[in-house]
Amino acid sequence: MITHPRTEELAQSVALWIEQIRPSLDPRNAFLARVAANAMATIGREITQGPAAEVEAVRLMGEVLGRTGAHAELNTELCARILSGELTVETPGLLAALTVMARNQIAIDQPGYKAEGSF
């Protein structure tokens, strides 16, 4: 059977190649290469972890809002209801849902981040 590299494998390969050549670059281009390698790593994590994080976010937002829907529409409504003051820290499940969603996003964007305290 003929197979090809998965998207996340391609992203990882590009990031590794950039890291391999980075030491030979001048300081400015070494910095830009580091940014590019980090971006490729984030893309890889978004591909592998993003779908599950979105499914969980849809479930959590649906529970808080008391309805079902697509991620974008639930997120828009959740934000609007928080901004209007309709949903507050006293709203059952809101802080827990926001905490889980934030942690899931941080795991994709900044996996090395170590939260201090209760977050």
pLDDT digits (tens, 9 = 90+) for 16-36: 999 999 999 999 999 999 999
116 domain residue, yes or no = no
The Cα–Cα gap between 62 and 70 comes to 9
51 domain residue, yes or no = yes
88 domain residue, yes or no = yes
118 domain residue, yes or no = no
pLDDT of amino acid 35? 94
The Cα–Cα gap between 41 and 117 comes to 27
78 domain residue, yes or no = yes
Give the total residue count for the chain: 119
pLDDT of amino acid 3? 83
Tokens, residue 57: 């976010």
1 domain residue, yes or no = no
Q: How confident is the model at residue 118 (pLDDT cuts 50, 70, 90)?
A: very low
pTM as predicted: 0.80
117 domain residue, yes or no = no
* 102 Cβ contact partners less than 8 Å away, ≥ 6 residues apart: 119
Domain of 36? 7-109
Number of domains comprising the chain? 1
Rounded mean pLDDT of 41-57?
A: 95
* 42 Cβ contact partners less than 8 Å away, ≥ 6 residues apart: 108, 109
Contact status, residue 64 vs residue 97, Cβ threshold 8 Å: yes
The Cα–Cα gap between 84 and 39 comes to 35
89 domain residue, yes or no = yes
